[in-house]
Amino acid sequence: MASRDKLPKIGNVEREAKYGYVFGVSGPVVIANHMAGSAINELVRVGHEELVGEIIRLENDLATIQVYEETSGVTVGDPVLRTGKPLSVELGPGIMTSIFDGIQRPLEVIYDHTKSIYIPRGINVPALSRSTSWHFAPDNRLRVGSHITGGDIFGVVPENQMIKHRIMLHPKSKGTITYIAPDGNYTLEDVVLETEFDGEKTKHTMLQVWPVRQMRPVVEKLAANHPLLTGQRVLDSLFPCVQGGTTAIPGAFGCGKTVISQSLSKFSNSDAIVYVGCGERGNEMAEVLRDFPQLKMEVEGKEVSIMERTTLVANTSNMPVAAREASIYTGITLSEYFRDMGYNVAMMADSTSRWAEALREISGRLAEMPADSGYPAYLGTRLASFYERAGRVRCLGNPEREGSVSIVGAVSPPGGDFADPVTAATLSIVQVFWGLDKKLAQRKHFPSVNWLISYSKYTRALDDYYDKNYPEFVPLRAKCKEILQEEEDLSDIVQLVGKASLAETDKITLEVARMIKDDFLQQNGYSSYDKYCPFYKCVAMLRNMIAFYDLARHAVETTAQSEKKITWNDIRTNLGDIIHQLSSMKFKDPTKDSEEKIKRDLEELNERMQAAFRDMEENMTDLVERKGFKIEATTTSKKKTKKKKSKSTDLGHVRIIDDDAPILWGTTTESNTIADDEIVSFDDAPVVVGVIDERPSEIREKERFNDVKRWRTAAFEEVPEPSSIGPQPKPTKSLSSSKSHPKRNSSDDSDPDIDRRQPRRNDDPDLSPPRRKNDDPSPPRRKRQSDDDPSPPRRRDPSPPRRKHDDSSSSRRKHRTNDDFSPSRRHDSSPPRRKHKYNDDSNPSTRRDTSSPRKQQPRDDDEDASPPRRRDKSSPSHQKKSRHSRQESPPSSTYRRQIKEESSSSTHRRSKQESPPPPSQPAKSERRRLAEHKEQVAERYAQWGRGLAQVRQVEHAVKDYIEQAAKPLARYRDDADLDTMLKEKEREDDPMLKYLSKKTSDVGDRTNNSNSTPAKPRYRGPDPQKNRFDIWPGYRWDGVDRSNGYEKKLFESIAHRHAKSQEAYLWSVEDM
């Protein structure tokens, strides 16, 4: 009946011209006729229930209307009322603390009238209450007769404790004031100002009406210079936004877009908040309505709810789709109105993807050509027209003031795909990108902003602000980003080889990056202490973490070359309390503690941290200095030069084989008791050890030594009686007797002049380094006999150094015991040697020649002019003379007789030796051989560090490089490789490739492939005409035309018919 009651007013003759009629209905799209004189974006009322709609297309007298309410029940012929004005919103006191739908209908008022949870169709309620009185205070600078123009503020209404609503003249009005209301309470319909222009008087109230799709005018746009502080450390520090900037927050479902938007609304430094829920779930808007009134802010010493600076535009997912498209423009128009008052406004649009989906649905209803993913082609244009309404501006009117609108748009790409058209179009417009990561959200890391893909283009615009207020912040931010990027690069290495293989500085980078991510970038939005972080606290926390990073790296790098290095484990052990306090900085509650107290506490933590690092470095330095002083004092008192230790490798059980040959593998040298008047040269009597390697055979095969030339073999034959050989030397302390080691080879004597090694057998448990094989230029060696000596591992000879004696052989012989069956030693009766200090081998000028005396040139004062001794090849191999016995030629005749007797003995025969070369040649050749050996070992170790796959990869790369280098610079048509490559590329996806048979080579190509089978002959003459079967002469035709002309005419007629059919088809589709 209510609908029937509205019918008579359509028959009113005066209003007949304002009505059209429904011609067709398609969901939210209605087509009406008899709409001549209508305008695009004009507001209309559709049907008997007067549903709100907007004209979006005009064609002749047909108008296409998108209806912002449910169109169920609308029939053809229903009236369509034209209002003659565009879709507009009401601006005035009462906007704050209110909640509207997409076309600014007050939801609270509708609920009070209908008591329904749904909005009834066709309801028409004013957006702002007309009955509420507001206290109006006029501007004292204005009086009757004053000139006023658009945008001038002529009064103030205290809307609440946070917002002072400044009443402005409509931007399109101007004139001379003829009346201004005095101070008092007025409603929105009361006249508070009257102006006159060109004899026409205009009355003004506190209410303005402005079209939503039209931008409010400004004087000029200004560059942004102040940050939009959000209370989130990751956003304020790494990716800041400015007041008046544009920001996008794309992220998948559950990443926290709504939480970030609500945090901006709660804690940002904006003066007013406009929160637009476009197509989101209703419970999110209910959460805003529940939480915002409970949050308090301190304003002029009073705590007030942040809801007093917030207005909500709620268009949830169960509301009509078309209203989503209007809700975005409603929110930005409200934001511009408060911006013109001189406020900094932040608008949250959650989410623009739902708005784009509404555009896609309307576009589909209009049968428009779809673009990517079905969105209309003008999607980017609509997004740009929305985001470009943001910015910092100089407002219109007096007094001069500046305001800004900051837009933060949440984007919900399907599946978190940032290649979505809406996301791509948004990123091409906005200047700040806060990308949310699904993996971070799954790890409960909130805000889940990915610091590797997010960016901000406002960092340079804010440098002046930071330099003025926080001078140290810009380098701290750069250092923080650098640490996070290095941590991302190192994470791949850690996954492959583990964290233990990293350098100490890299370990520090990983630990500090973890600290930054867990204790700085992550925030608990539901805690009282961390839901909001002031910027001063953010800067102080970042300063302490970066200072810890710099101090730790400095401590490690400064001690890297010293004996006592500082590692990350030392730092973590000694400074565990400091690290714990760095992680606890976020627990400083800004709501309980004052700004001065938090700054003071964090500054004290920085000072304690620096003092702790300083104390740790000093303690390490003192320890190294004390140890260095002990070493220096011992070396000075003993007159012994310390030689740098080579790296020792723990390879299992060690046995002493020969203490005469030079050692080539790392062993540990222990200091012995040395008399003050003695000089010790450690190169004179090195210790050679054999190794029992218990590792797998593959590893042992890799670690064979190539420098076995300096290893010597020895064998025992019959041991002669001590009296059968000349003078006996004075016995020295045996090596086996030191350190309580058991005796070896049944001898108490360990004089370095004697080689007591026995031949080695295959069943010998002594797995010493392998001897050389066929490439060994040294004399042939015999394997030692079985050695069942279970002696423990032994190091170099720790016995007291051997002295130089001038006593006679009798004095030496009397100390020998009857149980000593070791070969007798020759008496060194050479003149006493001059004392000298041991020099490093790196100085050739001070290095002594340790080559064999038989290879040295005889000295002038040497009395021994006998030729070199020969060695009988038929006799078993004997030990060589040690380095001590070959240093100098013995000058005395007694020693010559001793050498002669020894050489004539059947037990100690010598093999043939070469003629003595020049003195300098053995030393140079020895050094060259050692250098070559070191290079070979280094190359082999480098190869051992690679796996089989890496070796094959390198070989393949070298082979490919050689092949590519051998190819010519240019490729020609007759290049067989190029032809093969192109054929393979063309046929790589051909499923029939494996069924194709290789064509036989041509007869003319037999020269290139002599092994190919003869192919079928082919016609090589000039090209004749085709035969009657329309084929070229070839294998089955001799080329003679025997046709009577019928076939030629037949094929010409067939071609003519085909051409005519093609022409007819082209004519038929020309107009499509």
Residue 756 near residue 764 (C-beta atoms within 8 A): no
**Token pair of 1062, please?**
């093609």
Query: Is residue 419 classed exposed, middle or buried when 0-12, 13-18 and 19+ CB atoms within 10 A define those classes?
Result: exposed
Mean predicted confidence (pLDDT) in 265-274:
91
Cβ atoms within 10 Å of 100's Cβ, excluding its own:
26
Q: Quick check: 102 and 317 in contact, CB under 8 A?
A: no
Residues 753 and 712 in one domain: yes
Give me the CATH number covering residue 16. Answer: 2.40.30.20
* CATH number, domain containing residue 140: 2.40.50.100
370 in a domain, yes or no? yes
Tokens representing residue 411 in the block: 């984007």
Confidence at residue 983, expressed as pLDDT on a 0 to 100 scale: 81
Q: 171 and 294 in one domain?
A: no
pLDDT digits (tens, 9 = 90+) for 652-709: 444 444 444 443 443 333 434 444 444 444 444 444 444 455 666 666 666 665 444 4
Encoding tokens for residue 782? 């015999």
**Cα angle at 87 between 243 and 169, to 5 degrees?**
60
Express each pLDDT in 338-375 by its tens digit: 999 999 999 999 889 999 998 999 899 888 899 988 99
694 compared with 71, residue with greater pLDDT:
71
193 and 241 in a common domain: no
Let me know whether 451 and 312 are in one domain: yes
Instruction: Give φ, ψ of 268 to 5 degrees.
Output: -70, 165
Find the Cα–Cα–Cα–Cα dihedral 501, 506, 512, 513, rounded to 10°.
-90
Look up residue 234 and give its DSSP letter.
I
Same-domain status, 779 and 873: yes
Same structural domain, 323 and 435 = yes
Cα(1054)–Cα(978) distance, integer angstroms? 41
Instruction: Look at strands 296-299 and 302-305 and give their pairing.
Output: antiparallel
Q: Which domain holds residue 265?
A: 233-459
- The answer to whether position 1033 is within a domain reads no
996-1019 as b/e: b if 16+ CB within 10 A? eeeeeeeeeeeeeeeeeeeeeeee
Q: Please indicate, yes or no, whether residues 476 and 448 belong to a single structural domain of this protein.
A: no
Entry pTM = 0.60
Mean pLDDT of 919-929: 74
For residues 587 and 868, give the distance between their C-alpha atoms in angstroms, rounded to a whole number: 88
Question: For residues 593 and 531, is the Cβ–Cβ distance under 8 A?
Answer: no
Query: What's the pLDDT tens digit per position in 187-231?
Result: 999 999 999 999 899 999 999 999 999 999 999 999 999 999 999
pLDDT digits (tens, 9 = 90+) for 251-263: 888 888 888 988 8
Q: Are strands 174-180 and 147-149 parallel, antiparallel or unpaired?
A: antiparallel
Give the pLDDT confidence score for residue 894 in this predicted structure. Answer: 43
Count how many domains the chain has: 5
69 and 154 part of one domain: no
Band (937; pLDDT cuts 50, 70, 90): confident
Give a yes or no: residue 965 inside a domain.
no
Check: CB of residue 122 under 8 Å from CB of residue 81: no
Beta strands in 92-214 (DSSP E): 99-100, 134-138, 147-149, 153-158, 164-168, 174-180, 184-186, 193-197, 200-204, 208-211
Average pLDDT of the chain to the nearest whole number: 75
Residues 707/926, Cβ–Cβ less than 8 Å: no
Query: 3-class SS at 350?
Result: strand
Within-domain flag for 434: yes
**H/E element, 323:** helix 321-340
| The pLDDT value given to residue 625 | 58
Banded pLDDT at 997 (limits 50, 70, 90): low
Question: Which 3 state secondary structure label does DSSP give 592?
Answer: coil
pLDDT score of 812 more than 80? no
Please check whether residues 786 and 673 belong to one and the same domain: yes
For residues 451 and 509, membership in a common domain is answered with no
Q: Is 520 within a domain?
A: yes
